Homo-oligomer: A and B are copies of this chain.
Amino acid sequence: MDERHRVIIVGCGFGGLSAAQRLKDVDAGVTLIDRRNHHLFQPLLYQVAMSVLSTADIAWPIRHLFKDRKNIRTILGEVVGVDTQRREVDLASGATLGYDTLVLATGSTHAYFGHDEWAVHAPGLKTLEDATTIRRRILLAFEQAELDPDPDRRRALLTFTIIGGGPTGVELAGTIAELARETLRGEFSRFSVDEVRVVLVEAAPRILSGFSEKMAGYAERKLESLGVEVWKGQPVSECGPKGVTVGEKMLESRTLVWAAGVEASPAAKWISAPADKAGRVEVEPDLSVPGHPEIFVIGDTASVSMPNGDPVPGLAPAAKQQGTFVGDLLRARLTGGTEPERFVYHHRGSLATVGERDAVVEMGWFKLKGRLAWLLWGVAHIYFLIGTRSRFTVALSWFWTYLFSRRSARLITQRDALSGKPPEGEETRAVDEAPPGAQVSEVTR
């Protein structure tokens, strides 16, 4: 019977992965549980939604990543609860798993500010399926506009709205504008791609609140030069099948993407721990749960403050640093070393692309914008990908997009036809229907 210390890590995002990597040669039985069979490189997920990258470019089978680590076991399963008394994790399959130490790294999901019914109209971007859903909706909107003789409906089909002016929203808006104006130029006969409208809606007075005013201003001007309309200072009050209402103004737009808010996974409820209003567990300085030194919460599920009182941002590097911290702490605990007492977040910088050839970068005193910033962004992201092959194929795809304005993954999948049904889990909405009574006969006259 295996008498080793049992560590369970739930979630294999950046946090869980980093924690597991620090434990790969420790004399403990480590079990990694994830609902997915793959680790996902979320910072590039928007490029899958925008047909630039393939799903496989940014996802790796978790099992394979730990293939040679005999003390690490991978389980594909969904955790639905934790019994902190008996120290057991409950899986959706009905199975239970006992732990001595538990690390919760279950991330966050979209938050619709109490309007969950908006989700079907304005999908967010967290999983590979989210990305292919958004990709399908965007590409279908163009195809439907090509078939629709009604100018009003066509205008609504060619209006794309991104809700939320953080880095993801800015990256989506810039990339969709370039998709329309460059990649698709000359491919449609019923409309000109110059008719395409891309609207970025931000409730706050300015976009990119994580950046300096100057850089945000640059990004905004750059977006506008790409043809994106930036609407600031008014929140979205309604999302529906016809479009979005911003303040009092109704914008007819058949394709909406949600990049406005996230909330933590329900891990706080599993362990009945105090949480902030976004659902994040308020952890101790060493990232353990108050009263439970054997449970740690990291990444987007944890509420951690910086010395100045500001919250640690929900970014990949923060999750990674927390995972590494907890991994090192457990390694020290198991080997009798000195446990670090306090997690300190090191902010390496903020980066966001603006379209396919421009970016803004702020790393402390170092600020950079334009083509060179984009290059730096690209190199940094390639560096953090896993494995030579992904680095190679991602670089190749960017090269292609950059040089030829081509996108290598322009696929509408998971639906049979224009008249087919959307995949399970995605409700039918107006945008997915064939234009009623579309008369295309004049086309071939």
- Give residues in A with beta carbon < 8 Å to B: 1-2, 6, 8, 29, 31, 35-38, 54-57, 59, 61, 63-64, 67-68, 73-78, 91-99, 128-129, 132, 139-140, 143, 146-147, 186-189, 389-390, 392-393, 396-397, 400, 406, 408-414, 416-425, 434-441, 443-445
Contacts and interface: CB of A to CB of B under 8 A. Distances in A.
A400 B390 CA distance: 11
A92 B417 contact: yes
Given A143-B37, A409-B56, A414-B129, A444 B8 contact: yes
B35 A440 contact: no
Tell me the interface secondary structure of chain A in the complex: loop
21 contacts: A29-B444, A37-B143, A37-B412, A38-B410, A55-B411, A56-B409, A59-B411, A67-B186, A67-B187, A75-B147, A76-B143, A77-B147, A77-B418, A94-B436, A95-B441, A96-B440, A97-B444, A98-B441, A98-B444, A128-B413, A389-B408
Nearest to A89: B444
B96 A64 contact: no
Contact of A186 (B29, B68, B189, B424): B68
A29 B443 CA distance: 9
A419 B92 contact: yes
Contacts of A441: 95-98
A24 to B, nearest CB: 15
Contacts of A63: 187-188
B435 A93 contact: yes
Given A389-B408, A400-B389, A411-B55, A189 B73 contact: yes
Nearest to A437: B94
Contact of A422 (B57, B74, B189, B424): B424
Report, nearest first, the 9 A-B pairs whose CB atoms are least far apart. A93-B434, A424-B424, A92-B419, A78-B417, A56-B409, A35-B417, A76-B143, A61-B410, A54-B56
Contacts of A96: 440-441
Contact of A412 (B38, B414, B437): B38
Contacts of A408: 56, 389-390
A229 B244 CA distance: 58
Given A73-B443, A418-B76, A411 B93 contact: no
B73 A413 contact: no
Given A35-B417, A93-B435, 18 more contacts: A2-B445, A35-B420, A56-B409, A67-B186, A75-B146, A76-B417, A76-B418, A77-B147, A92-B417, A92-B434, A93-B438, A95-B437, A96-B441, A98-B445, A99-B444, A392-B396, A393-B393, A414-B423
B419 A129 contact: no
A418 B80 CA distance: 12
A30 to B, nearest CB: 9
A200 to B, nearest CB: 26
A421 B410 contact: no
A160 B240 CA distance: 45
Nearest to A392: B396
Nearest to A149: B95
B417 A77 contact: yes
A125 to B, nearest CB: 15
B31 A443 contact: yes
Contact of A55 (B74, B413, B438): B413
A38 B445 contact: no
A33 to B, nearest CB: 10
A75 B144 CA distance: 9
A186 B75 CA distance: 15
A43 B415 CA distance: 22
A410 B392 CA distance: 18
Q: Point out which of A98, A147, A392, A418 has the most chain B C-beta atoms below 10 A from its C-beta.
A: A418
Nearest to A397: B389
A413 B94 CA distance: 23
Contacts of A38: 410-412
A132 to B, nearest CB: 8
Given A64-B410, A129-B413, A440 B97 contact: yes
